[in-house]
Amino acid sequence: MSQFLQVLLSGLATGSIYALVAVGFTLVWQAAQTVNFAQGEFVMVPAFFVLVGTHVVGLPLWLALALALVVSVVLIGALFKKLVVEPILPSGGISLIIATMALGILLKESAKEFYGAEAQPFPAMFPTDPINIFGAVVSMQDILNLIISLGVVVLLTLFLNRTRTGRSMQAAAQNPAVAEILGVNVKRMVMYTFLINAALAALASFLITPVYLAKFSNGETLGLIAFIAAIVGGFNQIRGALVGGLLIGVLDNITATYITAEYRAALPLVLLIIVILVRPQGIMGTSEGRTV
């Protein structure tokens, strides 16, 4: 029982970070009706900003994290929206999807070029000491990762539902034409969405890189798993992305522990196929509309 709890908590911790990235997929889908295939690289890059801050500039970790967050929000939030999404979106969603694939390759190869192909150690933000929860031994880092990720998703949901700005963002996503005639600044709301996505990606990066180490190729796996998590949960619902992320994290751990570690990479794909066959809109998704 304690082993199961251990596997469960550890899976939830990883899954909650997948959920952060999956929420980003959902947000960008709502704002621009496109899939950002550079999302995985958006999670890979902020870790390198931190390493540049700590190793090259010599900043303390907290300052490097703060600066990396700001730089990420500017580069993969505002500039991504201004330089990639805005000019290409009028040409159609497919063009933008291809552009994000190209951007992903550019970011990956740039990281490799500037920082090397070797995995770089990344400082942990939290102590990794094991703690005992009802007999399950899990690391403090896992528990804090879980708490922070879930806390951020809950805060984001509260922001979107309980504030006027959040509801304006929902209006801009669900019915931009109506939002405009009501006086909502649709462009600004869409920009907010991209900034939030960048901040989520940076946070996911800071939480997961101490476990995975900083490597130029981290985005490939992470992006794919989060994309599947968003589809499994329901691409048009934040809570769907959350459920999808947690589900994949937990199932991955359970499979690796109790069945086989050999095929764990196939699990998300199997889950994806099942969900598409049984419930194409995803576990929590709705088939009729766009929702933030």
Partner 1 sequence: MLEVKDLHGGYGKITILNGISFSIPKASITTVIGPNGAGKSTVFKAIFGLLHIDSGQILLEGRDVTRQTPRQMIAHGVTYVPQGRNVVPQLSVYHNLELGGIASPDQAKVRQRIEAVMDQFPMLREFRNRKAIELSGGQQKQLEVARSLLLDPKLILIDEPSIGLSPNLVQEVFATLQRLRDQGVTILMVEQNAKAALAMSDYGLVLELGQTRMHDQAAKLLADPRVGQLFLGGHVENAALAGAD
Contacting positions for partner 1 (CB under 8 A)? 164, 167-168, 170-171, 174-175, 177-185, 288-289, 291
CB 167 to partner 1: min, Å: 5
- Burial zone of 45 (CB within 10 Å; 0-12 exposed, 13-18 middle, 19+ buried): buried
**Of residues 175 and 257, the one with the C-beta less far from partner 1:** 175
Smallest distance, partner 1 to C-beta of residue 287, A: 12
Q: Compute the least distance from the CB of residue 110 to partner 1, in Å.
A: 39
- Which of residues 108 and 239 has its CB atom nearest to partner 1 in the complex? 239
**Which one-letter amino acid corresponds to residue 47?**
A
Q: State which residue, 34 or 237, has the beta carbon closest to partner 1.
A: 237
Q: At which residue do the structure tokens 């995995």 appear?
A: 119
Q: Nearer to partner 1 by C-beta: 1 or 177?
A: 177
What does the alpha-carbon distance between residue 46 and residue 198 come to, in Å, rounded to a whole number? 9
Asked whether the beta carbons of 228 and 272 are under 8 A apart, the reply is yes
**Helix pair 39-51, 2-32: axis angle to 10 deg:** 110
Q: What is the dihedral of CA 147, 291, 159, 229, to 10 degrees?
A: 10
Q: How far is the CB of 182 from partner 1 (least distance, A)?
A: 5
Q: Which is nearer to partner 1, 150 or 171 (CB)?
A: 171
Cβ proximity to partner 1: between 62 and 164 the closer is 164
- Least separation in angstroms between residue 171's CB and partner 1 is 5
Q: How far is the CB of 180 from partner 1 (least distance, A)?
A: 6
> Pairing state of beta strands 130-133 and 136-139?
antiparallel
Strands, E, within the chain: which ranges? 130-133, 136-139
Cα(11)–Cα(149) distance, integer angstroms: 13
- What does the CA dihedral 50, 189, 162, 228 come to, rounded to 10 degrees? -60
